[in-house]
Each structure stands twice: as structure tokens, then as C-alpha cells.
Structure 1
Amino acid sequence: MEQSELLNDISGLSFPTLTSILDASSNCTSGINKKLSPPDPKVCGSLSELRTSQPCLLEHYVNIALQAVSENKVAVLLLAGGQGTRLGVSYPKGLYRPNLPSGRSLYQLQAERLHRVSQMCKDTFGTTPSITWYIMTSGHTKETTVHYFESVNYLGIIGIT
């Protein structure tokens, strides 16, 4: 099934057009590596490092993040266009249930985290934020993903469109 879809997609490609697009994009990005550099190590850190060495700084960062969420300034973008073939499944990765005792899907785990962040904002600031959750799908995964969310009542998330 996947191979025939891939062959169908490939047969519709115009290689001269693709070459032209690739050349144009290469010209636009030439020299960009000179402009890119890693962030200063002073502004980066791992959560475990902060938790053990600078708990006050970690708390400060968490409060800044929760404040932004409580002011509806934060959205979540989930790139979920791929199928779970590398996981050994033929359906969208978001439906995958890792080997956890709860049996929850990856979508459900993320929805529960969004609910938890919302509750933390309510506990800290007295407001219940609206966290927009964008789930980018592909032509191969959209229908299955939409059906999943419909079948689980959108995991209790309000305002799904």
C-alpha cells in the first residue's frame, strides 16, 4: 500500500521543476552557516542541572513560562505528519502506545501534560488559560488522527476545531 502510494506520488513529480526549486533554495541559503552559531552555554542548561545546582533559577523560569501560558501567549505545535513505521506500526505516531503501564497513547500523554500545565496556571495565577494545540498531520495521517480524537471525545480538551 505505502509503496504504491509512494510510486504514485513520485510519478507526478517534475524533476526539472524540483531541480529549479532546489537550486533557488541553495542560492538563498548560501553563506547562512556563517551566520548560524550555537547559543551561548551561559543561557542553556539542562533541567537536571538546574534542578540540582540552581533550583531558584529553575523556579524563576517555570514562573515565567506559566505566566506566559496564563496570559494565553503560548501555543503547542505537534508535528505529527509521519506514520509510525520506524516504531513498527502502520498508523500515526500519535496513536502509538509506548510500553507503559497506563497504556496511554502519545496524544493522550501530551493532552494530559497540557491539562497539567493549565491546572498549574490556575493554582499559581488563578486563571485557566486557553492553550492552543496545533497538530500538523499529513494526507496519510489526517483521517486516522481525526477519527481517533473523535472517538476519545478529543481527550477532554475544550474548544477543538
Structure 2
Amino acid sequence: MIKMKRIHHVAYRCTDAKVTVDWYKEHLNMELTVAIAENEVPSTKAPDPYMHIFLDAGMGNVLAFFEIPNSPTMGRDENTPTWVQHIALEVEDVDALVAAKEELQSKGVDVLGPVHHGVFKSIYFFDPSGHRLELAANTGTVEQMKELKRVAPLMIEEWAVTKVAPKHAAWLHE
């Protein structure tokens, strides 16, 4: 049986590796830990120069990016709303979330929120490559999280049949 230890890294494309490293350091205090550059893709041997950067997202979590200059200009899936695909990072608590919002705004970043999701609060903003970022602070109780875990399979089964939002966890946004 496969057993995961943790996510090793999550990788996205960026428009400029240096701008990305500098922005994440300045705005989110994330340190560059590794840079890998090759002129061909190790897995396929395709000739495609790239810069692969790894940023410390805390507690062993790694956020990575690829700059691939010989590919067409970076875009996004226009059939997916901008709010759907995002990178969510956790902060210590709501006070840290509010402080992060103030700091980001002081650096000229447009920030939405905090938005209350019942068991966590979030703020949203974009990085220089257009990736939507979320900072989240958990607020849920052990009992609330236990109830969400209990109803999750029921909700999935109902959704699979109806494609209408099940009401099992409607209390989150009431």
C-alpha cells in the first residue's frame, strides 16, 4: 500500500525566475533553497532549457516554479474562473492574517478579504506571474472539523448524482 510522507513540492510555471524569487522573498518571506537549470528535460531528454526554483514555504513545504523561456507565452485556462486555481498557504492565526494583509497592501499588493469560510479565514492576491495566492488562518474547532470529515463522503456521493451543492455543511457560510 502506498503511504505518503508529505508533499515534496508543488510546481508552477513563472514568467521570470528572478522576479519570482525576489517577489516571494519580499512579500512572503520565502527563501530560495534550490535552483536547478538544465538545457534538456531529464525525464524526456527533450531540448528545452529551464530554470527550476524551490522556495521554502515553512515546515518542510516547498513551492517550486519553472521558467521555460522557449515555450509560448504563459497563459491560463480561460475556461476556469480565476478564483478556482490558487496556491493556499497557512499562517499562524487571524491576527497574523490581518497583519499579512496590511503588510502586503503597504507594498502595493491588491488584497481581497479576509473572507470567512466557517472554519478558516482567508485573504487573496496575485503574484507577478498571475497565480492567485491565498493566505489562510484556521478558526475551526476540533468538533467542526470532525463533522466536516464525517459528512464529506455523503456530500461527494450526493454531488456525483445531482451536481447541486449538498447542504450537509451549509452552516459554514451561514
Scaled by the length of structure 2, the TM-score of the pair is: 0.25
Q: Which has the higher strand share?
A: 2
Q: Select the structure that is richer in helix.
A: 1
User: More relative contact order in 1 or in 2 (CA 8 Å, sep 6+)?
Assistant: 1
